[in-house]
Amino acid sequence: MESILIGNGINIQYGGKEYLNGNIIRRAINNVLTGSFPSVDYPQEVMRLIYELHAIFPAVLKGKFDNYAFASFEKESLTDLKQRYNTHKEYSIYEIGLEDYFLLYDLFCYKLGVTNPESYGIREVLKRFFFDSIYNSGKIQKIYKNFPQDLRGYLKEHDKIFTTNYDQNLENFIDSKIYHLHGSFNELSETYDIDSFRNQLSDQPAKGFDINENNRHLYSNAIMAYGGQLKEFASKQYKRANNFMESIAEGYKDDPEIKEEIKDWKNSSNYIVQNLLEGVMLKAQNPELSFKDKYPTEELDKIEGTLRILGLSPNNDIHLFSSIIENDQLEKIEFYCFGENEAEEIRRTFPDKEIEILNVVEFWESLN
């Protein structure tokens, strides 16, 4: 079996510099400055937030926010952030990674004492701000028109095609199933899907959101987060939630003691516990109800033979690499790299796998 994992490099190769990190941020800010943004979906004040997060960046690099990283994954992400940037250099607002802004945001909230649900709501606005720029008025969905015909034949050689991209360029280009590991602009988030299990609960988070079809990408299940653990949690949360709900709903139906304990949850002042109670009762009465698992993580876990990795930085998405490392059925990895520095990083990342390093520049040229 031969599989391939494709990252944003393919969009940069055939879509141009518009899809580089700095230009995505520049376009997001420019959209607000020129009024070319859907103010009903995110307010212009989000741009001010970006400038505030940029302002604290030097202090974060110098360790002045270390006490606000509480969880282990926050501490690990903060350590990684410091290693990737130079404390003696001044970085423009465009030189900070998109996902790094979400770590800065969490640290900022901790310092100011901003908690859920307010911090969650603002984080969603920040995501929409960036998603809108990545979507680029729909231009990102048309990059496939620039793909060379030789690429179609190359992709057809693979049994499974995975991508971390949110767009539909690959499925528009080739008649094959594409596995979107980090979600897709075409799939609504469980939170905003009015037909989802989550929206069968009385608080209905989708209520009040009149989602325009043209702006569906802003409410998609696309994952944008810092740190591999957060991305892994987001991609596996619905599978875990389904397993948990099935187990606890069975206990509610079959075990009188568990049933009484669950009923006591109605006295809790915590809205999450109250929602959980309502969800368990709904699941017990309607066993067919479940969260829609739209992230094909299990498919990646089960691949065999050879995996090719194209257009993906070795420094990104370590949670995916962890899955690959742990897969004993995977015999070989072919990684397309820019140079020897990346190649060395790849060898360190997969010490127990057979690795073949391929030159990505030569590969793109061979397709032209």
Q: Which two tokens stand for residue 255?
A: 């075990």
Between CA 301 and CA 304 the distance in angstroms is 9
Between CA 358 and CA 86 the distance in angstroms is 30
Q: How many CB atoms lie within 10 A of CB 3?
A: 21
Q: Which two tokens stand for residue 135?
A: 């979507």
Provide the pLDDT for residue 349. 85
Q: How many CB atoms lie within 10 A of CB 156?
A: 11
Residue with the bigger pLDDT between 117 and 122: it is 122
Provide the pLDDT for residue 269. 65
- pLDDT more than 90, % of the chain: 65
For the ranges 35-39, 102-106, 109-113, 114-118, which has the lowest average pLDDT? 114-118
Where residue 334 falls among pLDDT bands split at 50, 70, 90? very high
**What is the strand order of the sheet 160-163 is part of?**
178-180, 160-163, 2-6, 305-310, 330-337, 354-359
User: What's 326-344 look like in SS3?
Assistant: CCCCEEEEEEEECCHHHHH
Which one, of 106, 157, 107, 121, lies nearest residue 45 by Cα?
A: 121
Quote the mean pLDDT of the chain: 92
Q: Which amino acid is at 309?
A: I
Provide the pLDDT for residue 168. 98
Find out whether 12 and 361 touch, Cβ atoms under 8 Å: no
Average pLDDT over residues 301-312: 95
Q: What are the CA-CA distances from residue 173 to residues 75, 138, 367 (Å)?
A: 41, 16, 15
Largest CA distance in the chain: 68
Provide the pLDDT for residue 271. 64
For the ranges 97-111, 166-180, 217-231, 254-268, which has the lowest average pLDDT? 254-268
Q: Which amino acid is at 125?
A: V
**Secondary structure E strands in 214-320:** 305-310
Provide the pLDDT for residue 173. 98
Find out whether 167 and 140 touch, Cβ atoms under 8 Å: yes
Quote the DSSP letter at residue 86: -
Which one, of 165, 162, 176, lies nearest residue 217 by Cα?
A: 165
Provide the pLDDT for residue 158. 97
Asked if the model's pLDDT at residue 341 lies above 80, the reply is yes
Q: What is the pLDDT of residues 194-238, one digit of tens each?
A: 999 989 988 888 887 888 888 999 999 999 999 877 888 888 888
- pLDDT more than 70, % of the chain: 98
Asked if the model's pLDDT at residue 293 lies above 80, the reply is no
Q: What is the pLDDT of residues 249-281, one digit of tens each?
A: 888 888 888 888 888 887 766 667 788 888 888
Provide the pLDDT for residue 146. 97
Average pLDDT over residues 245-250: 88
Asked if the model's pLDDT at residue 166 lies above 70, the reply is yes
* Alpha-carbon dihedral 305, 319, 80, 313, rounded to 10 degrees: 50
Residue with the bigger pLDDT between 111 and 341: it is 111
Average pLDDT over residues 48-54: 97
Provide the pLDDT for residue 270. 67
Residue with the bigger pLDDT between 314 and 239: it is 239
